[in-house]
Structure 1
Amino acid sequence: MTENQIGDAIVRAAIRVHRNTGPGLLESTYQACLEYELKRSALFIEKEVALPVVYEDVKLECGYRIDLWVEQKVVIEVKSVEAMNDIHMAQILTYLKLSGNKLGYLLNFNVPMMKEGIRRVVNNL
């Protein structure tokens, strides 16, 4: 399955979750619901994946965690915030660089319409 096909499945699942729950819940709730929906689509999902930083020859466990990692190809960062800002974009770009993945989704569920909360992020390795 390509990154784009996985991305399509992620967008569909995020919209389904938002339609069923609406805005205003905790990030952890949306993450769990999204994980459930993606697993129903027969995708391999890992949650809260530790992401170390390698500095020179040292591997540093800094506490970075990917919310959901789909097929070890696409990174998902789940948010439930009033507004997205530059730090959220920097966070997912950092996760993409550290994981070596090309595609990520920044999903903010605290919006009236889910399409307003979806940011597709590409890492130009």
Structure 2
Amino acid sequence: MMITQDLINDISYEIIGSAIEVHKELGPGLLESVYEKCLAHLLAQKNMKVTRQQSIPINFRGMELDCDLRFDLLVEDLVVVELKTVENILPIHEAQLLTYLKLMNKPKGILINFNCVNIFKEGQKTFVTEQYRQLPKGY
């Protein structure tokens, strides 16, 4: 299967839709780890490949750093999902996801905050990289 912007957008649509399902069922106020497990489970039920809590390698001028830096979810090996349960998404949360995208060389990331009223309107932000922009649009 060829990787395109449309394919990645379809994956993102499923991720955000699944996050909304989890949020509707559980509501706000739980630990991030609870939402992570539930979202991963729901995506796996939809036959999506989901990887959780893997280390992100950091190579600085040829030196491998063991910093125990971990992403929350990687879906279909294309979209990095960073989950939060905070009052407001802050620039540091956005910077964290953008750095993960760069270090992992992935085209798209989604930041989801479960501590909100409506995930679709206020609880998610999507970011793309230059790698995404260079992909073809259609299927």
**TM superposition score category, shorter chain reference:** over 0.9
Tell me the alpha carbon deviations over residues 2-52 of structure 1, each in whole angstroms, 9 at most, x when there is no partner.
211110110110010000011111000100110011001100110001001
Q: What TM-score do the two structures reach when normalised by structure 2?
A: 0.87
1:21-32 pair list within 5 angstroms: 21-32=26-37
Counterpart secondary structure, 1:65: coil
Distance 1:106 1:58 in 2: 29
> Which residue number in structure 1 is paired with residue 129 of structure 2?
123
1:65-104 pair list within 5 angstroms: 65-104=70-109
Distance 1:124 1:117 in 2: 24
Tell me the alpha carbon deviations over residues 86-125 of structure 1, each in whole angstroms, 9 at most, x when there is no partner.
0000000000000000100000000011111011111224
Unpaired stretches in structure 1, ≥5 consecutive residues? none
Query: Residue type of the partner of 1:84?
Result: I
Q: Which has the larger radius of gyration?
A: 2
> Which residue number in structure 1 is paired with residue 63 of structure 2?
58
Query: Residue type of the partner of 2:31?
Result: L
Q: What TM-score do the two structures reach when normalised by structure 1?
A: 0.96
Distance 1:71 1:27 in 2: 21
In proportion to residue count, which structure has more strand? Answer: 1
Aligned length: 125
Distance 2:130 2:88 in 1: 25
> Which residue number in structure 1 is paired with residue 134 of structure 2?
none
* Worse-superposed segment, 99-108 or 115-124: 115-124
- Kindly indicate whether residue 20 of structure 2 is the aligned counterpart of residue 12 of structure 1: no
Counterpart secondary structure, 1:63: coil
Distance 1:124 1:86 in 2: 20
Percentage of identical aligned residues? 40
Distance 1:41 1:91 in 2: 28
Distance 1:4 1:56 in 2: 34
> Which residue number in structure 1 is paired with residue 111 of structure 2?
106
> What's the Cα RMSD here?
1.0
